[in-house]
Structure 1
């Protein structure tokens, strides 16, 4: 009988214990959680007491500590100069850049409204001069596409959180900023490659001469008392040369600093990365503002300018008025293409005057 009771108890007691655990799990979990949290609080308190206020004060001041890592600045937990970089970038450079970009756009709009586009003073002759080769045009449009898309993605990274993020869903903003970041990182090196090709291809045509000084003093005949005149110029005038060297100089700063940011594997410190970021941003803003004017002249500000970079050829009248010295060189070589007779006659007649049959 006793053995039967013992066997029954050995089977029933574990079952009762299991039921008891199922019936009161919150109490056990709460006690366990309190025990864990209590141990964590004790550990944190002991750590604070062990380190002391002086230790954390030094951490906040950016003092380097001891570490087994041999990489630069791995002993620094908090980068104090990084606060200066953040203030320069967010509080000064970003607002100033926005003002500069919108100011440049406002200036070209005013120029179009007040001054108007530069039109040819004489009718087109229909005779063409070869100005840009296929390689020239390929380089120009490749750089144009690369620069504009990089500028757009860069502006999205800097200003998108102010102008776009508040008005779209958070998930969509995440996809947009991720795509902009990846595009900027991977296409950026292509800008550097194109910049090298453009430097090698056009640097000889872009050297300044005495003629360019006179062109600049007369402001290209676009405004002021010299408006309507056509200062002498060779293949490139002073304005085009200025845009070219603006691209080369500030493009080089933007490209090199961008490569520093793209490949932080050559021992760059946080100071190097912060300085590269500021140089990259400043150079890019200068380029964007400068090319607002370049794009304006090409698309709206001068008759026949875009035509040359699209077809590679310019009209004889355009060459005479804007690049007379280059025109004389081409004319002396006999490299001016003859125009179709019908087109030439129709372009030389005033509007509304009938063409006479010469048969």
Structure 2
């Protein structure tokens, strides 16, 4: 027992000595920091630091915008709006949209074709159309993911991974977002030029909205009339164009802070960019739901470029009739080749 006590003493005594030695050092470092802070305050004066905290402008040799403002006091308002209001509201909106379409699928189910497929295919999308669609889809989804990582990653990922890995991920997300963002705007303009004519609202679209696209309630399966694009697709198209333009322009302001933007300009652009992006993400949750789960045959057209005749007739009957009329017109205009010997027999 005595030997055990001696061994423990040999272990504990050095530890106690180390603690005793570190205690004055810690106290000394705290005292040194307090002394440095007091000296800085005394050197510049309490009035100086009070003016800094109030956001008053001073003098500096820098010629950048707001170069004389050391601390931007209104920036705290931006921080509160972004972190305390928009970030939580955005998370609720995104998860709410996902929950809503999930409930739709469970309660209502997908919109199936009323008649059997004929097996006859009708050309709907060209290769250029499909390339443009999938390029836009990939760019949008990756930008949405990187943007959400920048906003929410510190809450959902950072606490659970090593600091070095988190630093690499967030750096990669930021660089990707900054460099790919302008490409999204270019693709957006290509989409506008390519499909705006097919997305003009007409009288037939009112009836489509009144019947909720034939997807829910008493109108489910009614298949209201539609042109090449139905009213829902047109609404989504203009949502993409208008809100996507807001996202792109506000993003360009943030990407290139070299045109005299003030801190207020950057803060406002950040809030507008975030709000518009959240609207787009929520809107495209529904688009993805319809394409993948909500409507039979919806995805096939954008993958293969062709749709079944039954699908075209039920979901886009006006466009289907135009295609059929065009095919009949082409058949009528084609010269009919007479069998050999007919002319000779007639002469005989």
Tell me the TM-score normalised to structure 2 length: 0.82
Query: What pairs up with 1:66-215 in 2 under 5 angstroms?
Result: 66-215=59-208
Query: What pairs up with 1:198-237 in 2 under 5 angstroms?
Result: 198-237=191-230
- Summarize the Cα distance change of 1:253–1:43 in structure 2 as closer, same or farther, 3 Å threshold: closer
* CA drift at 1:67: 2.3
* CA drift at 1:264: 0.7
* CA drift at 1:228: 1.5
* Deviation sequence 1:320-350 (CA, Å, 0-9, x none): 10000111111100179xxxxxxxxxxxxxx
For 1:269 and 1:289, the matched residues in 2 are separated by: 31
* CA drift at 1:138: 0.5
Query: What pairs up with 1:52-67 in 2 under 5 angstroms?
Result: 52-67=45-60
Which of the numbers 245, 254, 267 marks the counterpart of 1:252?
245
Which of the numbers 269, 275, 278 marks the counterpart of 2:262?
269
Aligned residue for 1:129, secondary structure, equals strand
- Summarize the Cα distance change of 1:335–1:75 in structure 2 as closer, same or farther, 3 Å threshold: farther
* Deviation sequence 1:135-193 (CA, Å, 0-9, x none): 11000000000000111111111111111111111111111111111111111111011
* CA drift at 1:41: 5.9
* Deviation sequence 1:267-311 (CA, Å, 0-9, x none): 111111111111111111001100000000001110111000011
Contact 1:122–1:317 under 8 Å retained in 2: yes
* CA drift at 1:70: 2.3
Deviates more, 1:49-58 or 1:157-166: 49-58
For 2:118 and 2:35, the matched residues in 1 are separated by: 89
- Summarize the Cα distance change of 1:42–1:182 in structure 2 as closer, same or farther, 3 Å threshold: closer
For 2:176 and 2:249, the matched residues in 1 are separated by: 17
* CA drift at 1:64: 1.1
User: Who is 2:272 aligned against?
Assistant: 279
Paired positions, count: 300
Tell me the TM-score normalised to structure 1 length: 0.80
For 2:214 and 2:201, the matched residues in 1 are separated by: 18
* CA drift at 1:69: 2.3
Aligned residue for 2:45, secondary structure, equals helix
* CA drift at 1:129: 1.4
Contact 1:205–1:236 under 8 Å retained in 2: yes
For 1:296 and 1:335, the matched residues in 2 are separated by: 36
> Which runs of 5 or more residues in structure 1 are unaligned?
1-33, 337-359
Contact 1:129–1:335 under 8 Å retained in 2: no
Aligned residue for 1:155, secondary structure, equals helix
Structure 1 runs (4+) deviating above 3 angstroms are 40-45, 47-52
User: Who is 1:304 aligned against?
Assistant: 297
* Deviation sequence 1:205-238 (CA, Å, 0-9, x none): 1111111111001100111221110111001011
> Which runs of 5 or more residues in structure 2 are unaligned?
1-27, 330-348
Aligned residue for 2:64, secondary structure, equals coil
- Summarize the Cα distance change of 1:134–1:85 in structure 2 as closer, same or farther, 3 Å threshold: same
